[in-house]
Structure 1
Amino acid sequence: MPSVKRAIRIAGSSGGFSDRQRAIGDLAKNCDIDCIIGDWLSECTMTLHGAQKQENEKRRKAGALNEAETQGLFDPTFLVKLAPALPYLKAKNIKVAVNAGASDTGLLAQLVEEEVKKQGIDLKVGWVSGDEVTETVKRMYANGEEFPSLMNGKPLKEWGHEIISAQCYLGGAGICEALRQGCDIVICGRVADAAPTIGAAMWWHGWDRETDLDQIAGSLIAGHLIECSSYVCGGYYSGFKRLMDKCENIGFPIAEVEHDGTCIISKEPGTGGEVSVGTVASQLLYEIQGPLYYGSDVTADLEGIVMKDIGKDRVSVTGVKGLPAPSTTKVGLTAWGGYQAEFHYYLVGLDLEEKAEWTERQIRHSIGDAVKDLTCLKFSLNGYSPENPRDQEVSTVDFRIFVQTKNRDLVDSFTLDVPGFNRWCMENFLQSCPGASLHNDQRQSEGKEFYEYYVTLLPQSEVKHQVELPWLGKSIDIPVQKNVTTYPRDQKSYETEDPVDLEKFGPTTRGPLGWVVGGRSGDKASDANVGFYVRHDDEWDWLRSILTIDKIHTLLERSNKGRKIERFEIPGIRAVHFLLRDHLDRGFNSTSEYDTLGKNLCEYLRAKHVDIPNKFLRRGRF
């Protein structure tokens, strides 16, 4: 632990496996930082890695894969990103803590150590274990544990699938201990997205998990803000139109976490994007589930958070309060779901709803009794033709037919002579509606395997959290802190206490909510969240008064699933947040919907029309 009490400067280098390759090297080379963190995992990748782990074990038992081989167990891009940075990490004493280990953290740590030795650099590599809990979950389930879904509350027995892997979310305490023991690079599997930031800050400032709750909660929120890399610097920002300059290279974020847990968010110099209250508030609202943000180390209360612009690309974040961590941690279960396929008609011009109905009725007739073997059959008309369209392309919309089944024979081929999904769709082409055409690549109609994902809770006491220190030849247990508590599944939800009469805002113009309201949305399994914020105090009075739970139900219109919606407010950033329970069709890997990650929900709602006070519009639109 450093002897100074200055802030630790932590840079976010990755929000997922798809992020830009340059991050770790450029941050290490060009920035004044103390630690680089990165998030390479998601519910999508956890499912895929977990399924691949089981497949590898089957192949090994069958003699088709030797003990030295592995496929798909950890992020394949991480080492490529890390290798160029190693000399700078050593020269500048920069630590690294990442969750790229996925389903074989120890193997990735070994490969990193080999690369370090290959370059002749003295850096100590350790790793964190304990997130793999498949056998623990199976044992507890066999002994009667119900494992209710976090999304809909139904017990695991109603899921209807066989568990093939389970990973739980670890906190930052193991990372903290690894750094305390002298580790330079800490490789983790499924730690929570914010855990690397928490662990680095706990190590740097010497915080006590039992007592320093406000401080650790502040680092939890700092970690949440930078774990999606450039999101907090202008990526996915409602005000993106004014950030076109250098949008090809939006900067990566830096969090300066102070000894009291407050932080300042800035970004990599000389890059595009911006750090403002707008961009930081947007990221805060991303994927949260209510006024309490749970972590294995602490619970953060978000309702009192305050953000201020304190300079160019610098925003201070204060007001976060800490509460005891929950006695449980989230665990994701993976199961084989079957096969899925899709077929696309392109429809054009007038009468699109009727054309879609015509096509659907014909295809359903072709399917006939085989519908009983389909676990999912969904028809969706996506897009519209504007009045007096400017060209044929803008007048063309996608009519998508999506199926899932456990009977491979039904989706086993996309050739016309084999009965099944492709044939059901294709054989109706010559009796189709006017202006219908086919995509010239039929491969999507051949079935691909998909996996189901189920989220529940596991007692932290059932997790064997350890730090592995190969250069010392030892492991260190990370016990659960004593200061934990049990929280209910459903968080506090409320309408505004003192709504303002909307007539008091004066004359209005009918137009999109997004003219004056920014926001962000995301997913957690099948739950979708969406948060909205405004830029001025009087707009805040209007926003919190107009955006009620009933109003969101109305704005959703035909996208309304009719399920529970929860609401809370964050006055310090002029924001209203909604959690749409079980709104998405399962998770990324098995969903039948276009919006696989809930990220598009906010922009749909920002496009919906409301009555906007004219005085707000005179200030300029997003």
Structure 2
Amino acid sequence: MAFTGRPIRIAGASGSASDRRHAIAEFARYYPTDPVDVIIADFMSEFNMATAAGRRVDQGTVADGAAGASPAYDLSFLEALEPALEDLAKYGIKLAVNAGVTDTKGLYEVVMKMVQAKGLDLKVAWVSGDEVLPAIQQSLAGGKSDFRNIYTGEKLADWSFEPIYAQCYLGGLGIAAALAEGADIVLCGRVSDASPVIGAAYWYHGWQRHELDKLANAFVAGHLIECSNYVCGGNFTGFKELEHGGDGWANIGYPIAEISAEGDVVITKQAHSTGGAVTVDTCTSQLLYEIQGPWYFNSDVTAVLNGIHFEQRGVNRVSLHGVRSGPPPPTTKVGITARGGFQAEAWWFLTGLDIEAKAHMLEVQIRRLLAPFSDRFTSLKFDLLGSSLSDAPNQNRATAPLRIVVQAKGAEDLAPTRFLKPITDNIMQGYPGATFHLDLRQGFPRAIFQYYVTLLPQSAVQHQVHLPWKPTAKTRVLDIAPPPATKTYPAQQPSQPVTNNDKPVNVKNDFGPTVRGPLGWIVHARSGDKGSDANCGFWVRHRDEYLWLRSLLSVDTARQLLGDSQPGMEIDRFELPGLQAVHFLFKNHLDRGVGVTTTVDFLGKNVAEYLRSRLVDLPVRFLNRGKL
């Protein structure tokens, strides 16, 4: 049943298991002066999905009664929830989270104990159906699908690892059903990051599945607030302008999405004193994060982004426009986890002159010392991070670290005698000033997990909502049907290697005098990981700069700016004129994904920062407006 014509106000209180813990309680406590209807919080990522799968399979869970086992749900959610419970109950605020990771039922049991210990009357529901390894195995055995990896094209049968767990991404309608049945708290495992917002708006406004435009707007609103502080100035290349005013950088606030019955969206933030800001640029930054093309898929709807744009409606108020919709795809994304072996690391410090030569000397020596054991290694890399400042003001600023990272199938292959000891034994014959890091804990092997991403028909998913307070067994479980209408989209998103101009543009001569300088003096950017891919969006502040940006940033230029990272990488490119943006997808840039990549930029978030530092020819008239 729909509520009054007032827009629903949905607060985004967590963007990951590594977020600060105070926001759920803070939103609830300030309800009298800054009311919200639903609080959503995201605690899952591809990394904790994979590591929790290992704990679930290897150890069981605390809820299963395994003595001393680590739980496979997210513990940080419980820290955030406990101080909020009384105010959630007092003000009737709903809460929907994806903190179940790989044991949502176990999380439900712990949350119920917390609720009962406080004597509160809160109804707690939980959502199942994301665990799909049996469905994958049955379909594979029956020849229904070869489950190709969406990033590499590899067949699952050819994967050199043994799957131990598989989770699919669920939509938001299970959450909507739970709220409609009276749930106060809805606990989920792997719903998509935006699904809690879709579910909350669908429930509140009484929408129907065929109202795709409304669902698409809620989907994009969910994407904008599911990373919490990111849309309020976190991870934002315009961060310097946010230093002053309110709490500045010290306490960047959390967002609120206001969604009307017609699907109109306004993004704002907490009303009480917090830092950061909600602007067209902070919203653009978050929008460009994680998308992989103009088609943005969810189990409930596809958002078509070509015409998207934002409008500043006031201080910390930005409205969303131009989102179009399409039916959802018939499939949903699945992450398959396998034990991937073990990894160890060691660090050395190099100072002052001849950094490159010192690094080369160290690598030659250590490769020789590791040679008797290296036939058991699956990867061995030496990476010099950064460089020494010339005439540095102090010794630390003249120092650069060198990282040595190794992977192998067995822990015994990386035993200290086979990796750490030979590396530290090198110190007496080392480069001038040879110094290794005294904290040697990373030099001992730790388990890593491979993550394989494929697609599963939504019809093969048993999406269910559990309502334990209901009086009969029949009413305690609701089945959520797959979408009645779907559309199969091409595997390849639309991509254009260069911009389409009526006449050729010379980026060095057609915009007046130029100077050589970092791209980031003029251009904002934002990047992140999606499986083994890294995406990166660039945008400018002024309309007349956009022709220059899209003419400059071709696929060939992007490859040139990436340098020697991966010269043969496949790159997709598309333009978002309403955002004055150009977006790239760098395929397999992250070397098998967050859990096993050997790069220090394991989340792909520094791809944008590297590319903004690269030198290009900058029009002087744009620079005269002020550098970012």
Is the pair's TM-score, using the shorter chain for normalization, greater than 0.5?
A: yes
Task: Note if contact 1:98-1:196 (Cα within 8 Å) is conserved in structure 2.
Answer: yes
Write the letter of the residue equivalent to 1:615: R
Write the letter of the residue equivalent to 2:269: K
User: Which residue does the alignment assign to 2:429?
Assistant: 431
User: Which residue does the alignment assign to 2:468?
Assistant: 470
Q: Which secondary structure does the structure 2 equivalent of 1:204 belong to? A: helix
Separation in structure 2 between the aligned mates of residue 558 and residue 90 of structure 1, nearest angstrom: 56
1:320 has 2:323 as partner: yes
> Relative to structure 1, is the Cα distance of residues 130 and 59 closer, same or farther in structure 2, using a 3 angstrom cutoff?
closer
1:150 has 2:150 as partner: yes
Separation in structure 1 between the aligned mates of residue 179 and residue 576 of structure 2, nearest angstrom: 34
> Relative to structure 1, is the Cα distance of residues 90 and 202 closer, same or farther in structure 2, using a 3 angstrom cutoff?
same
Residues 375-434 of structure 1: per-residue CA shift (max 9 Å, x gap): 111111111012222221111111111101123223223xxxx3x111331232222222
**358, 362, 376: which is aligned to 1:359?**
362
**308, 311, 314: which is aligned to 1:308?**
311
User: Which residue does the alignment assign to 2:165?
Assistant: 165
User: Which residue does the alignment assign to 2:137?
Assistant: 138
Q: How far did 1:169 drift? A: 0.4
Residues 307-348 of structure 1: per-residue CA shift (max 9 Å, x gap): 011100000001111101011101111111111111112112
Separation in structure 1 between the aligned mates of residue 599 and residue 410 of structure 2, nearest angstrom: 21
User: Which residue does the alignment assign to 1:257?
Assistant: 259
User: Which residue does the alignment assign to 1:410?
Assistant: 413
Write the letter of the residue equivalent to 2:199: G
**49, 52, 60: which is aligned to 1:49?**
52
Q: How far did 1:589 drift? A: 1.6
Q: How far did 1:68 drift? A: 8.2
1:525 has 2:528 as partner: no
Q: How far did 1:537 drift? A: 0.6
> Relative to structure 1, is the Cα distance of residues 86 and 409 closer, same or farther in structure 2, using a 3 angstrom cutoff?
closer
Residues 188-241 of structure 1: per-residue CA shift (max 9 Å, x gap): 0000000000000111112211x2111100000000000000000000111111
> Relative to structure 1, is the Cα distance of residues 501 and 29 closer, same or farther in structure 2, using a 3 angstrom cutoff?
same
Residues 283-313 of structure 1: per-residue CA shift (max 9 Å, x gap): 0011111111100000000111110111000
1:538 has 2:544 as partner: yes
**592, 602, 619: which is aligned to 2:608?**
602
- Of the structure 1 ranges 441-450 and 187-196, higher mean CA displacement relative to structure 2 is found in 441-450
Task: Note if contact 1:11-1:37 (Cα within 8 Å) is conserved in structure 2.
Answer: yes
User: Which residue does the alignment assign to 1:123?
Assistant: 122
User: Which residue does the alignment assign to 1:441?
Assistant: 439
Write the letter of the residue equivalent to 1:140: S
Write the letter of the residue equivalent to 1:465: H
Q: How far did 1:67 drift? A: 5.7
Alignment of 1:454-533 (within 5 A): 454-472=452-470, 473=472, 474-494=476-496, 495-498=498-501, 500-502=505-507, 503-533=509-539
> Relative to structure 1, is the Cα distance of residues 611 and 425 closer, same or farther in structure 2, using a 3 angstrom cutoff?
same
Q: How far did 1:586 drift? A: 1.5
Separation in structure 2 between the aligned mates of residue 10 and residue 407 of structure 1, nearest angstrom: 46
User: Which residue does the alignment assign to 1:182?
Assistant: 182
Residues 59-84 of structure 1: per-residue CA shift (max 9 Å, x gap): 99xxxx84687522101121221122
Write the letter of the residue equivalent to 2:332: T
Separation in structure 2 between the aligned mates of residue 184 and residue 542 of structure 1, nearest angstrom: 51
Separation in structure 1 between the aligned mates of residue 542 and residue 375 of structure 2, nearest angstrom: 55
Write the letter of the residue equivalent to 2:480: I
Write the letter of the residue equivalent to 1:92: Y
Task: Note if contact 1:513-1:605 (Cα within 8 Å) is conserved in structure 2.
Answer: yes
User: Which residue does the alignment assign to 2:230?
Assistant: 231
Q: Which secondary structure does the structure 1 equivalent of 2:413 belong to? A: helix
User: Which residue does the alignment assign to 1:90?
Assistant: 89
- Of the structure 1 ranges 89-98 and 612-621, higher mean CA displacement relative to structure 2 is found in 89-98
Separation in structure 1 between the aligned mates of residue 124 and residue 67 of structure 2, nearest angstrom: 20
Q: After TM superposition, which residue ranges in structure 1, 4 or more long, deviate above 4 angstroms?
A: 67-70
Q: Superposition RMSD on alpha carbons, in Å?
A: 1.6
Q: How far did 1:448 drift? A: 1.2
Q: Identity of counterpart residues, as a percentage? A: 49
User: Which residue does the alignment assign to 2:28?
Assistant: 28
Q: How far did 1:567 drift? A: 0.6
Task: Note if contact 1:530-1:579 (Cα within 8 Å) is conserved in structure 2.
Answer: yes
Write the letter of the residue equivalent to 1:349: G
- TM-score normalised to the size of structure 2? 0.95
Write the letter of the residue equivalent to 1:480: P
Task: Note if contact 1:561-1:583 (Cα within 8 Å) is conserved in structure 2.
Answer: no
Task: Note if contact 1:29-1:88 (Cα within 8 Å) is conserved in structure 2.
Answer: yes
Separation in structure 2 between the aligned mates of residue 535 and residue 59 of structure 1, nearest angstrom: 51
Separation in structure 2 between the aligned mates of residue 409 and residue 17 of structure 1, nearest angstrom: 31
Write the letter of the residue equivalent to 1:293: Y
1:193 has 2:193 as partner: yes
Separation in structure 2 between the aligned mates of residue 25 and residue 427 of structure 1, nearest angstrom: 51
Task: Note if contact 1:234-1:273 (Cα within 8 Å) is conserved in structure 2.
Answer: yes
Q: Which secondary structure does the structure 1 equivalent of 2:382 belong to? A: strand
Separation in structure 2 between the aligned mates of residue 205 and residue 217 of structure 1, nearest angstrom: 14
**Unaligned regions of 5+ residues in structure 1, if any?**
none
Separation in structure 2 between the aligned mates of residue 59 and residue 619 of structure 1, nearest angstrom: 58
- TM-score normalised to the size of structure 1? 0.96
Write the letter of the residue equivalent to 1:511: G
Separation in structure 1 between the aligned mates of residue 67 and residue 347 of structure 2, nearest angstrom: 43
Task: Note if contact 2:344-2:444 (Cα within 8 Å) is conserved in structure 1.
Answer: yes
Q: Which secondary structure does the structure 1 equivalent of 2:374 belong to? A: helix
User: Which residue does the alignment assign to 1:450?
Assistant: 448
Residues 541-561 of structure 1: per-residue CA shift (max 9 Å, x gap): 111111111110011112234
Separation in structure 1 between the aligned mates of residue 71 and residue 616 of structure 2, nearest angstrom: 48
Q: Which secondary structure does the structure 1 equivalent of 2:6 belong to? A: coil
